[in-house]
Amino acid sequence: MVSLGCPKALVDSERILTRLRADGYAMSPDYAGADVVLVNTCGFLDSAKEESLAAIGEAIAENGRVIVTGCMGNEAEAIRSKFPAVLAVTGAHQYEAVVEAVHEAAPPGQGPFVDLIPQPDIKLTPRHYSYLKISEGCNHACSFCIIPSLRGKLASRRIDAVLREAEKLVAAGTRELLVISQDTSAYGVDVRHEERRWKGHPVRTHMTDLARELGGLRTPANESGEGATPWVRLHYVYPYPHVDAVIPLMAEGLLTPYLDIPFQHASPKVLRAMKRPANEAKVLERLKSWRAICPDIAIRSSFVVGFPGETEDDFRYLLDWLEEAQLDRVGAFRFEPVAGAAANALPDPVPESVKEERYTRLMELTERIGTAKLAAKIGRTIPVIVDEVGEPDEDGDIGATARSQADAPEIDGNVFLRNVDAALRPGDIVSARIEDADAHDLYGVAVAD
């Protein structure tokens, strides 16, 4: 399988492979040994579509028997016109259709004993962290986005099913749960926040109830008979008022003090053109109140520069807002037209050279803010989760790559530890004294609690 795109697509890949393994299939480590290749595509931006088409082309060239699924599945005609040899094309999270296509291309050959062996779910992430997808689709109509046409309207999973999956993952060794969706704050809106029974009490299909219950999970008991609270990290959180209710849970140590909030811009005019809520002033007030409750909270966000109609005044407004917001982690994207997006028809497109210049200025500002925030951690002792342990060097010293609570895997920074204990393993959560910092990462040494 070739899995492209966001963590939500990665979860889809895990579910597909889990279903296929239950049918007796095994994973091939390369093209040559595979009876069929699955390509899970991304179709959010034109550049992502090009990457997906390149992956399909490579699979066709290397193997020849290819099934395409994912967000580009709604462009089946375009895929088939470019690659007529593709065996089947299915849309995003259409698990049954993918499995049926595999059955047809490479009929399963499992025996009667395989049917009786329970198999754990397949994970494409390291054992110690897992993505927990709580819903599909989105009810927003942002003018630059085609996600609703790719993945449909919001469809929330049953909260008892989500909690059961989370409990199972933690019991199997997950030390960090990353909650993902298209809009985590809207979880349960489509089912009117229906109640379900969990552990003998009612829970609503609502972000705050979900967060509270996840904060109550514990890892398997250690030698002293105690379990630990796993890290629970919330992604794709729109700043609705009820988000305020999860901040005290972070202050209590039940949730990881981290919020991934897709602000996209700050200028009221640009936000209106994007068809997004224009409440940037209130957000600044809430950021202050969140930090008063939980001083260690880290806020990550992403922003679009060069949106049609964005003036220099709009962009300066964004820079001033960022200066005041002092976000911990920031990503930026140059506006890119996407086939089917309403924003393509907006007047006053921004020249590519201006987009590039604004992107550079924004990244320079946010790097300065981020560098100062990381430098302020020098001398502190903070918890970190270990991702990788290296081999001893010529002096016998062992280094490790870890992350702080302010760092999500793959998208944020790292904490590089020197001279760690040889018994340290990925997934261990240890205390680290920070000795140095740069623009993106921290450097330190593990210390005894």
Q: Which single residue is written with the structure tokens 């309403």?
A: 342
pLDDT of amino acid 196 = 96
> Among all chains, which residue has been given the structure tokens 């198999």?
119
Paired residues of 446 in beta bridges: 432
Q: What is the CATH number of domain 381-447?
A: 2.40.50.140
- Considering only residues 126 and 423, tell me which one the structure prediction assigns the higher pLDDT: 423
Q: How confident is the model at residue 9 (pLDDT cuts 50, 70, 90)?
A: confident
Q: How far apart are CA 211 and CA 167, in angstroms?
A: 13
**Which residue matches tokens 């895929």?**
79
Q: Residue 2 — pLDDT band, cuts 50, 70, 90?
A: very high
Q: Chain-wide mean pLDDT for the chain?
A: 91
Contact 195, 203 (CB under 8 A): yes
Mean pLDDT of 418-425: 94
Confidence of residue 120 (pLDDT cuts 50, 70, 90): low
Domain boundaries for CATH 2.40.50.140 within the chain: 381-447
Q: Which residues pair with 164 in a beta bridge?
A: none
Residue ranges in 132-245 assigned as alpha helix (H): 147-151, 159-171, 207-214
Residue 7 binned pLDDT confidence (cut-offs 50, 70, 90): confident
What would the pLDDT profile of 400-420 be if each residue is shown by its tens digit?
999 999 999 989 999 999 999
Stretch among 174-178, 214-218, 275-279 having the lowest mean pLDDT:
275-279
List C-alpha distances in Å: 25 to 34, 40, 49, 374.
Answer: 10, 18, 28, 46
Task: Give the number of other CB atoms < 10 A from CB of residue 22.
Answer: 18
Nearest to 88 by CA among 74, 78, 98: 98
Q: Per-residue pLDDT for 122 more than 80?
A: no
User: Residue 112 pLDDT more than 70?
Assistant: no
> Sheet harboring 2-3: ordered strands across?
2-3, 37-41, 66-70, 88-89
Q: Which two tokens stand for residue 323?
A: 């200066």
The yes-or-no verdict on residue 114 having pLDDT over 60 is no
Looking at the chain, which residues constitute the CATH 3.80.30.20 domain(s)?
A: 129-375
Residue 116 has pLDDT above 50, yes or no: no
> What is the average pLDDT across 370-394?
95
The residue with greater pLDDT, 119 or 21, is 21
Q: What is the pLDDT of residues 144-199, one digit of tens each?
A: 887 777 778 999 999 999 999 999 999 999 999 999 999 999 999 999 999 999 99
344 has pLDDT over 70:
yes
Of 3.80.30.20, 2.40.100.10, 3.40.50.150, 1.10.3720.10, the CATH number of 129-375 is 3.80.30.20
**pLDDT digits over 60-69, tens only?**
999 999 999 9
Greater model confidence, 340 or 190: 190
Residue 10's pLDDT is what?
Answer: 86
pLDDT (average), residues 86-109: 87
Q: How many of the other CB atoms lie within 10 Å of CB of 358?
A: 23
The tally of CA atoms less than 13 A away on the side-chain side of residue 262 is 17
Is residue 282 pLDDT above 90, yes or no?
Answer: no
> Is it the case that residue 134 has pLDDT exceeding 90?
yes
Work out the pLDDT band at 113, boundaries 50, 70, 90.
very low
* Percent residues over pLDDT 70 in the chain: 96
CA distance 437 to 444: 9
Q: State mean pLDDT over 298-324.
A: 97
**Contact yes or no for 210/185 (Cβ under 8 A):** no
Q: Token match 């390509």: residue?
A: 39
Tokens of 6: 């966001």
